[in-house]
Amino acid sequence: MRKILGSLSLIVLVCLLGSAAVMAAGYPNKEVEIVVPWAAGGATDMVFRAISTVFPKHANGQPLIIKNIPGGGAVPGTMEFLKGRPDGYTLLGIATPIITKIHMSEVPFDTDSFAPVIMVVENPCIIMVPANSPYQNLNEFVDAAKANPGKISIGNGGAGGGTHLVALAFENHVGAEFLHVPFGGGGPSVTAAVGGHVDSINVSAPEGFTNVDAGQLRVLGVLGEERLERFPDAPTALEQGIDFSMAMWRGVAAPAGTPDDLIKTIHDIFLACIEDPEFLAQAEDMGLRVVHFNPEQFAEYIESESQAYEELCKTKGLGDRYTK
């Protein structure tokens, strides 16, 4: 009986492995949906819409469908993604705000809920203001916030998300107190700034770029180590005497339990997409910094980011998960 059970177990294992291999070999044979848990027009949305333009060329002619589920600090969209089967047809546009949210609030998921597939871009945060703003540089902006605690507003892409946490870390670093205004994504925050409904916004490429080009917004400071090629006249925070730098990254994740062979197939498709000259031209126009991590590298990176944000939230008393 033991031999029979052992043989049956081996047969089942072989069948499962064979099924996963067949699944990967024929993938995709229908449209692939990627959940973006923020509004259309935000950075993550724009990145994957650019990728979607070349996706069919590298995916058996099948389209990449963007499903925006904004609001709730990316939690509703992430939870909708987690309902998907681990068959490669429901993916997640994973980004920094999802990891920060894990440590800012109590949420029903953690880093083990995702199977990292590929990292595609990483860009520094940028503080922008309406074109008619009285602040001409970061120092004037910070001085005004210090003189008027809780009065100078700074919009972000969602409560507990990446741009929110970066803004909180920034105010902590400079010793100011801003009025933080969350939106359902970077796109709505840009719209609010153009309309003069907030004094400033914290975004990352390509959010707000066309509005800067149109003269509707101005870049006060780049929270990165280098100036942006798109706006070479916009100084970094460091150049303005503020030693502060934080970035947002974006990539693709599949549901936990997705077979390794299928993960590799999905990775290879997206790698071909971000290496496609047509996408690279769009990325350059949007000011995106293309950065590739494979599944193993991306998993290690996400874990290191999670640990760093956990420490930041705990030591700075950010959010409410560790301050109850």
Both 224 and 164 in one domain: the answer is yes
| Residue 243 included in any domain | yes
pLDDT given for residue 155 in this prediction = 97
pLDDT digit string (tens) for 287-322?
899 999 999 999 999 999 999 899 888 987 888 899
CATH number of domain containing 180: 3.40.190.10
Q: List the chain residues with pLDDT less than 50.
A: 15-17
Report helix, strand or coil for 95: strand
| Residue 18 included in any domain | no
Full domain range(s) for residue 224: 123-247
Q: Looking at 220, 247, 274, which one is the last position of a domain?
A: 247
pLDDT given for residue 23 in this prediction = 58
Both 152 and 234 in one domain: the answer is yes
CATH number of domain containing 105: 3.40.190.150
pLDDT given for residue 134 in this prediction = 98
Both 66 and 141 in one domain: the answer is no
Q: Looking at 247, 272, 293, which one is the last position of a domain?
A: 247
| Residue 193 included in any domain | yes
| Full-model pTM | 0.82
Both 127 and 116 in one domain: the answer is no
pLDDT digit string (tens) for 206-227?
999 999 999 999 999 999 989 9
Both 128 and 243 in one domain: the answer is yes
Both 222 and 261 in one domain: the answer is no
Both 80 and 128 in one domain: the answer is no
Both 187 and 253 in one domain: the answer is no
163 within 8 A of 42, measured Cβ to Cβ: no
Side chain identity at residue 253, one-letter code? A
| Residue 24 included in any domain | no
155 within 8 A of 189, measured Cβ to Cβ: yes
Distances from the Cα of 164 to the Cαs of 74, 94, 98, 247, 283, in angstroms? 12, 16, 12, 12, 24
Q: Euclidean distance between the first and final Cα of the chain, in Å?
A: 55
pLDDT given for residue 174 in this prediction = 96
* DSSP H helix total and E strand total for the chain: 12, 10
Both 157 and 193 in one domain: the answer is yes
Report the C-alpha gap between 204 and 212 in whole angstroms.
13
| Residue 256 included in any domain | yes
Is 298 exposed, middle or buried (CB count within 10 Å of its CB: 0-12, 13-18, 19+)?
A: buried
| Residue 17 included in any domain | no
pLDDT given for residue 67 in this prediction = 98
Both 92 and 104 in one domain: the answer is yes
pLDDT given for residue 6 in this prediction = 59
Burial 152-171 (b: 16+ CB within 10 A, else e): bbbbbbbbbbbbbbbbbbbb
Q: How many domains does the chain have?
A: 2
| Residue 299 included in any domain | yes
| Residue 264 included in any domain | yes
Q: Looking at 195, 213, 247, which one is the last position of a domain?
A: 247
Both 292 and 228 in one domain: the answer is no
Both 132 and 189 in one domain: the answer is yes
| φ, ψ at 83 (rounded to 5°) | -80, -15
